[in-house]
Each structure stands twice: as C-alpha cells, then as structure tokens.
Chains A and B, each alone.
Chain A
Amino acid sequence: MIEIKNLSKSFGKKEVLQNLSFNVKDGVAFGFLGRNGTGKTTTIRILMNIFREDSGEVLVNGTPAYEEKSRIGYLPEERGLYAKRKIREQLIYLGRLKGLDPASLENEVLSKLDEMEALEYADVKLETLSKGNQQKIQLVASLLGEPEVVVLDEPFSGLDPINAQILKKAIRRQVDLGKTVIFSSHQMAQVEEFCDDICIINHGKSVISGNLNEIKRAYPRDRIYVKGSLAGTEAPQETLASLPGVLSTEPFEDGWRIALTDAGAKDHLFDALGSAKFSIDTFSVMEPTLEQIFVEKAGDPPAGTEAVQ
C-alpha cells in the first residue's frame, strides 16, 4: 500500500501541497485527478524522490518511498529520451541504471517492444519516430523490470486512437497482473474506464478520495433517465415536466433526463408515468459521471462568490 501522509511542499511562497493525505491500495488502478497546477505532478515527483517534501511522508508498504524507488515504474508527464540514440541502446541503458540483470535485459526490452507493437523500431533512432510511437517507447522504459507500482502521468496525451488502444491494452495488462497503477489524467472517460479508486485534489488538498463506485453511489439518486413514448404526442417533454416531483426535464441521448425534487420522488414518478400511459423502455437512476464529480469538486466557484461548505 502507498500512503501519502500530511504531505506539504512549497516552492518559494507558493504552497503547492497542503497536508495532502490519501492511500492507494495494492493491486488497484488508482486515478489521481486535479486541475492543472494543483499539485499532482509535485506529489508524483515526491513519490519518485525527485523532490523532497517539506513535511509529511510517503510510504510504500510502510517503507519510505525513496527506498522503494526501484519497485516503481514511472512515465513522466514531461516525456523524452535521447533523440540521437537507438531505441534498444537507450532502453538497455535505462534498465541498467535501474539495476536490472544485464543478461536478461535485452530480451526483456525486445519482448516489451513487441508487446507495444514497436519491435520494428528497436534499432532506429528515437528522433525518427512519431510522437505517439515515442510515447510507447517511454512506456516500455517505465515497465522495465516489472515494477510492482506503475505511475503514469498523463499517459494518453497526444496519442492517436490506434496508439491509445495499444497503450490501454498494455495498461490493462498491468492491472490484470495485479499491479498498482497510479493514473494521473485529465481524460475522465479513460480514468473511469480503468480506475477502481480515485483521489481528486484541489489547491494541494484532497477534496475527495475512495472507491469510485461508492463515491457515485453516495451522490443523491435524484436524477432519472427515461426513454419511451407517449401515445398521441410527438413531444412528451411537457407532460413529463408536469408530473409530480419533477423539477426539470431535458432531452438526453434517446430519452430525457429528469431532475427530481428529492430522491424519494422516483417511485412516484414511475407510478405517474404509468398513469400517464407513458410506454417505458428505460427507467434508470443516473449516477454522476466522473467528469461531473470532478467539475463539482475541483471547479472553483465563479469569481465574486464564496464557496459553500
């Protein structure tokens, strides 16, 4: 388990992290989210011992993270390797620096390149590859030595859909192997696709963390999605809006999204739809998307207003 405990870090007068705390359980895919400049990369860099914390600690299985650095694979947000060197040569170099066995290193490099569908580039210079392919090479570098924890900072940025699929497959494999994958991204759909647990930080503090499904379930169940038809009318939205307990309606996908006055009104709505001769195809509670949660938790209030606690 990775424990981030009361982590604080300032650069000059700017307080980037303020008593940040959260845990990452073993073998889960963990989404570490926040707006630009909220301290995600700083936290990751402290975890990787690139920066030292001002106070607090980062533990990996109870041991300070800097002692466990070799067990963590890292794909930095700022990516790049040696443009003028051959891929195989520089991957072996990075593997050697990580202390990997030279005897098996070359085979591992080639096998990982193959997995990433980049074996054909083993003996070409990095500068000849597209940005997406360079990113795949960088992921290979971070996975060398089969680390127990993989930290991926914005892994999908700049990738085309095909390369994104290859990368997703590789990351999925890491998750399936039971590794802890820490995933920092702005692409909520991908975080939602991969991650079991999340932590959203804002202004260097954790604003919400835990299991994503539980977080969603904890939201009020007062948003309903309805799909169906009402005999004799082409525009049933007005009828829906007039039903008891309905606050507002709006078209959504093939149906309507209905906001209720409270979560308890959903049963009444279901009955009322029946009474109104509405032929129901779909009736479901709409859980908030991760993006909605993110906007709610990490979005600052508009200028001139105060945050409501």
Chain B
Amino acid sequence: MNNIATVIKFEYSGHVKAKSFKVMSAIFAVLIIGLSFVPRAMSAMNESVKEDTTNKTAVYILEESAKNDPVISGAFTKDTLSQVVAKTDWINGGEKGYDENDLKRLIGNGEADMAIIYGGGPAFKFFAPGNKLSAYSSVYPIGEFITALAKQQAIAGLPEDVRQDASEIASMASQPEIIDIGGNAQNNFWIGYFLMFLLFYMIMGYGNFVSSSIVSEKTSKAMELLITAAKPFDLMIGKVVGVGLAALTQMAIILASAVAGILLNLPFWKEKYSSLFDLITTTNVSPALAVVLIVFFFLGFFLYAFIFAALSSTVSKAEEAATVVTLPMLLLFASLALGFLSLSGVLNKTLVVVLSYIPFFTPFVMVSRFCLGDVSLPGLASGFAVLFAGVMGIAWVAAKIYRVGVMMYGKPMKLPELIKTVRQR
C-alpha cells in the first residue's frame, strides 16, 4: 500500500506540475470565465430582447383546518399568492371543489403549472410536473410565505396568559412535501448527456495519458529500475489512480471556473437563465445518489484506464501504443453511443437493462438509466457491484499483462502469444 501511495503521489505531482497541465488548465479557466460573460455582452448589444410575459397557472386548496383559521384564511388569498410568486395566475381550487386528485390531473394534462395544498402549520404539499423546471423555483418563496404564516398562527393561537418560547417560533421553518406529477426526464436528460460526455472525455484524454506515460517509462528504460523496486501491480495501480486524480483536479478547475464565471455575472444569469438555476436547485439527485454517480464515473475511468495500461505495457513506441489501444477505444465509442441511444429511448428497454450490467457499458448505460428514472436503488447497487467486480477483474488481468509487458521490447506480441506468455509467468 505504501508503494501505491508513493506512486500515486509521484504521478499526480508529475502531471499537475507539468507545464502542459498548467497551461491547459489556465486556458480552460480563462476560456470558461470568458464565455460566462458572452450572454451578458450579447444581451447588452441586443436591445430587442423580448421579455417572457407568459404567466404560470397555479391552483391552491386550503384544507378545512386552515379555512377556519382567521390568520390563514385572511392571508392565503389569490392576491397575496400572486405577490409571493410573480407572473402567476392563482386559482382557488377549494371554491371549485377540487381535491388532491384533481390537482394531479390538472398538472398532468398541463392545465396547471403547479399546485399546493395547505392545512396550516409549516407543512404543505407542492405539486409540479418534472419537466416544468421553472415551477420548482416557486417552492422557496412559497415556503418562506408559509413559514411566516405558521409563525403568526402559532402566536395567535396561544392563550394570552401563556408565554410562548420565542426561540421555538423563530426557528420554525416550512416543510414542503414536493410531489412530482407526470414528470419526464427532460431535466435529467441533459445531465445524462453531460455526464456521459464528461466521462468519455476523461477516459479518452487521461486514459491516453496513462498509455503514453507507460510507453515513455519503457522507452526511457526507467521501467527496469522501477520494477526491481516495486511490484508491477503497485506501479500500475499507482499510475492509474495518480493520473485519475490529476484528471479530477483539472475537472475541478474547469467546474470552479464555470462557477466563478456564473458568480461574476450572477444577477444577469439569475434573470435570464432561471431554468438553469431550477435545474441546479431542484433536480432530484440526492447527495447519496450523487456520490453513487461519482463512484460510477470513477469506476468507469479505472476500468478503461487499466485496459489502456495493460495494452500499452506491451509496446515500446508511442506510435505502437496508438495501435494497441484502438480496440478499447472502439469499445469506449460503442459505450458512449449505447449510453446516448438508451437515453434517447431508441433502444429496447430489456436490452438497455442487460447492457447496463455489462461492465464495459455500465458506466454509460447505468447513468442513462438513472437519468431516465428507470433504475431503482437496488438496481443501481447491483450495477455498482457488477462494475466494481469488473474493475477488479480487469485490474487483475491487467496486472498480469503489465508484469510481462513492461519487460517486452521490440516487435509487439500477437494476442495469442501474449496470452501464452502471461500464462507461463
């Protein structure tokens, strides 16, 4: 383990200290921050931008308990709600005799953009369609409004001779129960494309880094000294993880630049791209599932990086490395294509499920299934288990090939010859 950590540190520092890494990261950062100003600049130049004047339609129902409460019935009106959520026409569903099922139907068939049921106190039910992202941005102001109402209700309801603990009221907060009605994967769709493309880019770019780094250790003849000092397995794992962390660092720089760019133009972006903020704030990716997605992301990287490492160890020249990694590259392209196809709904559902449990495709197809809301937590866990086992298996085979490959010079071996040599060792 010590040697793996040593190799990781050496490889990581080698990459992040390299001039090319610094220059590329700086270019990315400047480019992304610069791009974040473009919409603002374009908008300033184009004065004929039309404002969106279309109002949303929302329905509210007050439960009996709330209707009878003078604090709530006095404040919970169409007019007040229109002030709370701008550009929205509110309908009193109670007056029309609507119940919860009616609200779901209205939202499901597009007659309403959102709905709430409130019975007093901090809790309320919020209904919105999954594909209407802008509706979700209303949860926050409604929640604030209901919090204020609940506090007033709490104070008004107290007997005059009893003093309410002020801190209890002050800490009161709304408790929305958000119900997604008839939602589709439109919002997650783009996240899916983005994640898959990011994974593809990462494997392509940094997988090739792993490959060229191994070939360079062979051509520089450093390899013979390295493998007398450490186990080939440690060297390979350390290299792949070290390069992976360097990739992560560069991605963090890219993302941080994007965030910095948005923050620098925050008022403009909030105004013009509210749906983007809805996407960020209301997407149903819980922290636990976000972790799972990141894990899928990295296992996918490791799976392909180990294949790249093993195959690159069998050649002695950079141009030969490009040839031996052709096959995994094709596999990678196929995985990306399958991920995209499954996301767009072209593929048969059973086929998508099967593909999502084949380790080479799991990182892409499982992410697509997740984004479509087509996989349960146990399904996700099974996919993780399959992918993890696949990575372990590939790492084991890769280490065997690596051990033999790093000492092979001259003409690259044909596959049957390589298998025979690996088995002999």
Contact A80–B222 (Cβ < 8 Å): yes
* A198 interfacial contact with B, CB 8 Å: no
* A124 interfacial contact with B, CB 8 Å: no
Q: A50-B407, A85-B14 are in contact. Are A94 and B220 (CB under 8 A)?
A: no
* B229 interfacial contact with A, CB 8 Å: yes
Q: Complex formed: what's the CA distance from A265 to B220 in Å?
A: 58
Contact A83–B220 (Cβ < 8 Å): yes
Q: How far is the CB of A84 from chain B (nearest CB, A)?
A: 8
- Within 8 Å CB of B229, what residues of A? 94, 97-98
Q: How far is the CB of B204 from chain A (nearest CB, A)?
A: 23
Q: Can you list, as one digit per residue, whether each of B382-414 has a CB less than 8 Å from chain A (1) or not (0)?
A: 000000000000000000000000010000000
Which residues A29-74 have CB closer than 8 A to chain B? 45, 48-52, 69, 72, 74
- Within 8 Å CB of A48, what residues of B? 228
* A161 interfacial contact with B, CB 8 Å: no
* B226 interfacial contact with A, CB 8 Å: yes
Q: Can you list, as one digit per residue, whether each of A105-146 has a CB less than 8 Å from chain B (1) or not (0)?
A: 000000000000000000000000000000000100110000
Q: Complex formed: what's the CA distance from A81 to B3 in Å?
A: 18
Q: Complex formed: what's the CA distance from A96 to B230 in Å?
A: 10
Q: Complex formed: what's the CA distance from A13 to B229 in Å?
A: 30
Q: Complex formed: what's the CA distance from A19 to B228 in Å?
A: 24
Which residues B204-237 have CB closer than 8 A to chain A? 217, 219-222, 224-230
Q: Can you list, as one digit per residue, whether each of B1-18 has a CB less than 8 Å from chain A (1) or not (0)?
A: 011001100100010001
Contact A74–B222 (Cβ < 8 Å): no
Q: For residue A86, which residue of chain B has the nearest CB?
A: B17
Contact A96–B6 (Cβ < 8 Å): yes
Q: For residue A145, which residue of chain B has the nearest CB?
A: B229
Q: A50-B407, A51-B407, A98-B229 are in contact. Are A93 and B10 (CB under 8 A)?
A: yes
Q: Complex formed: what's the CA distance from A45 to B14 in Å?
A: 28
Contact B222–A82 (Cβ < 8 Å): yes
How many chain B residues touch A (Cβ–Cβ < 8 Å)?
Answer: 21
* B423 interfacial contact with A, CB 8 Å: no
Out of A49, A80, A83, name the residue touching B228 (CB < 8 Å).
A49
- Within 8 Å CB of B50, what residues of A? none
Q: How far is the CB of B133 from chain A (nearest CB, A)?
A: 48
Q: How far is the CB of B291 from chain A (nearest CB, A)?
A: 32
* B163 interfacial contact with A, CB 8 Å: no
Out of B6, B219, B407, name the residue touching A97 (CB < 8 Å).
B6
* A76 interfacial contact with B, CB 8 Å: yes
Contact A69–B220 (Cβ < 8 Å): no
Q: A51-B407, A74-B228, A97-B230 are in contact. Are A81 and B2 (CB under 8 A)?
A: no
Contact A80–B6 (Cβ < 8 Å): no
- Within 8 Å CB of A138, what residues of B? 225
Q: How far is the CB of B361 from chain A (nearest CB, A)?
A: 36
- Within 8 Å CB of B219, what residues of A? 80
Q: Complex formed: what's the CA distance from A97 to B14 in Å?
A: 16
- Within 8 Å CB of A83, what residues of B? 220
Q: How far is the CB of B17 from chain A (nearest CB, A)?
A: 9
Q: For residue A85, which residue of chain B has the nearest CB?
A: B14
Q: A82-B222, A83-B220, A93-B10 are in contact. Are A69 and B407 (CB under 8 A)?
A: no
Q: A94-B229, A97-B226 are in contact. Are A82 and B407 (CB under 8 A)?
A: no
Q: How far is the CB of A168 from chain B (nearest CB, A)?
A: 22
Q: For residue B425, which residue of chain A has the nearest CB?
A: A52
- Within 8 Å CB of A51, what residues of B? 407
Q: Complex formed: what's the CA distance from A141 to B221 in Å?
A: 14
- Within 8 Å CB of A81, what residues of B? 220, 222, 225
Contact B3–A97 (Cβ < 8 Å): yes
- Within 8 Å CB of B220, what residues of A? 80-83
Q: How far is the CB of B205 from chain A (nearest CB, A)?
A: 19
Q: Complex formed: what's the CA distance from A45 to B407 in Å?
A: 10
Q: Complex formed: what's the CA distance from A138 to B222 in Å?
A: 10
Q: For residue A100, which residue of chain B has the nearest CB?
A: B229
- Within 8 Å CB of B10, what residues of A? 93
- Within 8 Å CB of A74, what residues of B? 225, 228
Contact B2–A99 (Cβ < 8 Å): yes
- Within 8 Å CB of A142, what residues of B? 225
Contact A141–B225 (Cβ < 8 Å): yes
Most chain A CB neighbours (cut-off 10 Å) among B10, B221, B225, B407: B225
Most chain B CB neighbours (cut-off 10 Å) among A49, A51, A79, A97: A97
- Within 8 Å CB of B230, what residues of A? 97
24 contacts between A and B (CB under 8 A): A45-B407, A48-B228, A50-B224, A50-B227, A50-B228, A50-B407, A52-B425, A74-B225, A76-B228, A78-B221, A78-B224, A79-B221, A80-B219, A80-B220, A80-B222, A84-B14, A84-B18, A85-B14, A93-B10, A96-B3, A97-B226, A97-B230, A98-B229, A99-B2
6 additional A-B pairs beyond A79-B221, A94-B226, beta carbons within 8 Å, are A82-B222, A85-B14, A96-B3, A97-B3, A97-B7, A141-B225
Closest 3 CB pairs of A and B: A80-B221, A97-B229, A80-B220
